[in-house]
Amino acid sequence: MRVAPTRPQPGTLLVEVRGILPTLRPAERRIGEALLHDPEGFATRSIAEIAELASTSTTTVVRFTRGLGYERFKDLRHDLTEQNLRERLAADDGGALPTDISPDDGMEEIVAKIARNESLSIADTAHVVDVGALERAVAAIDGAARVDLYGVGASAIVAVDLQRKLARIGRVALEWPESHAAWTAAAVLGRSAVAIAISHSGATTDTVEFLRIARASGAVTIAITNHEHSPLASAADVVLRTAARETPFRSGALGSRIAQLMVVDCLFTGVAQARYDDSVAALRKTREAVDQRASR
């Protein structure tokens, strides 16, 4: 029996739309894209106007609305209006601050827009990340004989970041920079290992395959992704969801990184805290090792 969608929590409507966008039919996806492109304009339009804007029918707009957990379109508009107001008030100048970079922006505007977008990505991720899932991931990593990590592009940078952090507290962690090497490593992991795959879209073929092979080998699998209904999430025992904000100028390769790094920092901190004294001692030793050689 299919479970009806739940109405988004306050302040998370845009996050939910971004999350379901890849799973929508083309007509519904156009509605979602219209909402994300101009949330304030969307909140002022009628069902008929939205249908015309997205080149679809009013029936499809109703289906999109119910797919988000709303019985009535006016309830969706109400929540969207409230979220627009909160974000406008959160802007440094007290008014609406466009999220994308324009050709006429000076460096001051660029700094302000990037800072706001990244702050919102962190805040949105804090709203949607499952604390229980984080606790399960920390416990799995803490009890693992080794941790293998894989990502492509910007996600690979995040994987390296977590590998370096875990290594600093004495955990065996390996980041694989190439897909074939990652797959062969995943094939022999076994039940004492954890495999972590990072992908903003959750649809990167090489990354999904890494996690599928790791799961088949018996390892605990963890996915860090923006899309909880993605192929990567389906291959994971634990899903850690991000909520990166993308714009045409700042695509997933840029926007996803800050949200992923937040989740990675939470993971590392949880693992370090699990063996607090050992972790503090290891961090001190690694810092001293660098300081002594840097002073020579």
What pLDDT shows up at residue 91?
Answer: 60
- Per CATH, 1-94 and 128-289 having the same topology is answered no
Q: Which tokens in the block code for residue 46?
A: 């009628």
190: left (phi over 0), alpha (psi -120 to 50) or beta: left
Q: Tell me the pLDDT band of 253, cut-offs 50, 70 and 90.
A: low
Q: How confident is the model at residue 1 (pLDDT cuts 50, 70, 90)?
A: very low
Q: What is the largest CA-CA distance in the chain?
A: 72
Asked if pLDDT for residue 197 goes beyond 50, the answer is yes
Sheet with 146-151, strands from edge to edge, namely 173-175, 146-151, 193-198, 220-225, 238-241
Would you say residue 188 has pLDDT above 60? yes
- Identify any residues that bridge with 240 across adjacent strands, giving them in sequence order: 224
pLDDT in tens, 75-119: 999 999 988 887 777 665 544 444 567 788 888 888 887 777 788
The CATH number of 128-289, from 3.30.43.10, 3.40.50.1100, 3.20.20.140, 3.40.50.10490, is: 3.40.50.10490
Can you give the residue ranges of every domain in the chain?
Answer: 1-94, 128-289
For 1-94, CATH gives 1.10.10.10
Q: Give the length of the chain.
A: 296
Q: List CB contacts of 94: < 8 A, sequence separation 6 or more.
A: 88
Spatial contact of 245 and 124, defined as CB atoms under 8 Å apart: yes
What pLDDT is recorded for position 246? Answer: 63
SS3 of residue 125 by DSSP: helix
Distance (Å, rounded) from C-alpha 224 to C-alpha 94? Answer: 33
- CA angle at 114 for the pair 28 and 78, rounded to the nearest 5°: 40
| pLDDT tens digits for range 207-218 | 999 999 999 999
Q: Could you tell me the pTM of the whole model? A: 0.81
